[in-house]
Chain A
Amino acid sequence: MDHILKINELSKSFGDKSVLDNLSINIERNKSQVIIGGSGTGKSVLLKCILGLMEPDSGEIFFNQQIMDKKNRADIDFHTKIGMLFQGAALFDSLNVQENITFGIKKLESNLVNLTEIAVDKLKKVGLDSSVLYLYPSELSGGMQKRVALARAIARNPELLFFDEPTTGLDPIMADVINNLINEVIEEVGATAITITHDMESAKKIADKISMLYKGAVIWTGDAKDITSSNNPYVDQFIKGSSEGPIKINLND
């Protein structure tokens, strides 16, 4: 099986609190992998470790069979091969929509091409037109910000796309629009997608495969269609959203 990303026994602690506990997961190329789990189970920390925003205490991450550590992450040009949609969009306040979308492209091809054309093309892919090109993030609604951030994430035609809670903070209709867009752009760009979310509707809609994290480790992985028949009490409790079951919520966390 062709894995674009392999994670072996990743651990990360903050003081006494272990957030990732020997976590291992393989991500298949050209599939949409969703990682679900409750708050504080290590989803965001896992994402930050993969992206190089945080250093794990131990464990290995392989991208295209090459190990990624602090040193060779730059050598293999990892960041030019990925796109990331942040939970709060994370658009640059001081730049307009066009500059936001083409921010990464300028680094790649300095001599080049009409950046406006690229921005308009990417905007079209996320259902926006050129009228927003010169607006600033503060002039856009939450849903539009997410779309522009999605356009920025796909601007460099990445091999690997990351989505961090893509539907959080959106109304159900806009959340569905974003889910559809994610499916469309993944297909169009031909990228592998990794999404972390606790929104089960979103997970079912965009996932080929789903993994569930609990206490910093993967406790279940399977096809998205099998999640309702997983026979895993943790998964069952999570997808039903029930407070009764093996997952105990510590209100002091």
Chain B
Amino acid sequence: MYRYIYIIPEAIGRSVLRMCASIGSIAIFFYDFVICLFTPPIYIKSLLSQLVRIGYNSLPVIGLTAFFTGGVLALQIYVGGSRFNAENIVASIVALGITRELGPVIAGLMLAGRVSASISAEIATMRVTEQIDALITLSTNPMKYLVVPRVLAALISLPILVIIADIIGIMGGFVVGTKTLGFIEQSYIKNTLDIIELRDVMSGLIKAAVFGFIVAFMGCYHGYNSTGGAQGVGRSTTLAVVSASILILASNYILTSLVFTN
């Protein structure tokens, strides 16, 4: 009977300890990453290939998502705004919504699904097939060779992708606004340009850099610490995507609070 009294506290205690261990492990991984980031060698060739893989190859996915998101946003705002005769705010809200929020968040989440998963699966496979051990025996620091180029590439790529996503997203709103909702093209463009400030775009780019870091870092962390063969590879991939997505949404709230509340 007494045994059952301890089951719930024990389970809670175990979860808390596991969480503390995970946080500690991520902190150590981050510390190693920072040390490797600022010490030579830097693998330029690997960085360039990751820029292509993470940045360039993600363009179609992020472009398409941004276009449809802009279009849907225009439709929703038009429908909602018409309830209190405020249809004219469509261009302004689409521009602000895309640059401040949806551009970076949608791009970040798409990158988490596409890149975090692939980074994690690749590094985890290297772990279980002893390729990471082989790197060490060939005098190569795996953190410098595998992690630094990927994280740097995502950190550089995502802000550029977000600028493109912003333009395509606003264009999506423009197409829907002018072709479906009957806005005049010139006035739609004028309203868009009038409302956007540098601060709106910059805040989106700061978010993008943070999200880019999160996406690649979580992919690398879970892949690098993968155990348990093929099942472990699958588990690390899932963990990478889930943790990157949650961290993107949580850090988005924190960054928005910091940038826009004062």
Contacting pair B134 A86 (CB below 8 A): yes
Stretch of B93-101, B125-133, B193-201 on the interface side: B125-133
What separation, in Å, do the CA atoms of A93 and B129 have in the docked complex? 10
Chain B interface main SS type:
helix
What separation, in Å, do the CA atoms of A20 and B139 have in the docked complex? 26
Contacting pair B136 A107 (CB below 8 A): no
Q: B140 contacts the other chain (Cβ, under 8 Å)?
A: yes
Q: A142 contacts the other chain (Cβ, under 8 Å)?
A: no
Taking residues whose C-beta sits less than 8 angstroms from the other chain, chain B's interface range is 10 to 19
Known: A88-B129, A92-B131. A53 touches B136 (CB 8 A): yes
Interface string of B145-163 (1 = CB under 8 A from A): 0000000000000000000
Nearest residue, chain B, Cβ from A48: B133
**B64 to A: closest C-beta gap in Å:** 28
Interface string of A35-59 (1 = CB under 8 A from B): 0000000000000100111000000
Known: A87-B130, A90-B131, A93-B131. A80 touches B137 (CB 8 A): no
Contacting pair B133 A86 (CB below 8 A): yes
What separation, in Å, do the CA atoms of A107 and B135 have in the docked complex? 11
Contacting pair B138 A107 (CB below 8 A): yes
Q: A79 contacts the other chain (Cβ, under 8 Å)?
A: yes
Contacts of A190 in B (CB 8 A): none
Point out the residue from A51, A83, A87, A162 that lies within 8 Å of B136, measured CB to CB: A51
Interface string of B97-135 (1 = CB under 8 A from A): 000000000000000000000000000011001110110
Contacts of A79 in B (CB 8 A): 136-139
Nearest residue, chain A, Cβ from B46: A94
Q: A186 contacts the other chain (Cβ, under 8 Å)?
A: no
Contacts of A86 in B (CB 8 A): 130, 133-134
Nearest residue, chain A, Cβ from B136: A53
Jot down 22 A-B pairs with beta carbons below 8 A, ordered by A: A48-B133, A51-B136, A52-B136, A53-B137, A77-B139, A79-B136, A79-B137, A80-B139, A83-B137, A86-B130, A86-B134, A90-B129, A90-B130, A90-B133, A91-B131, A91-B134, A92-B126, A93-B131, A103-B140, A104-B138, A104-B139, A107-B140
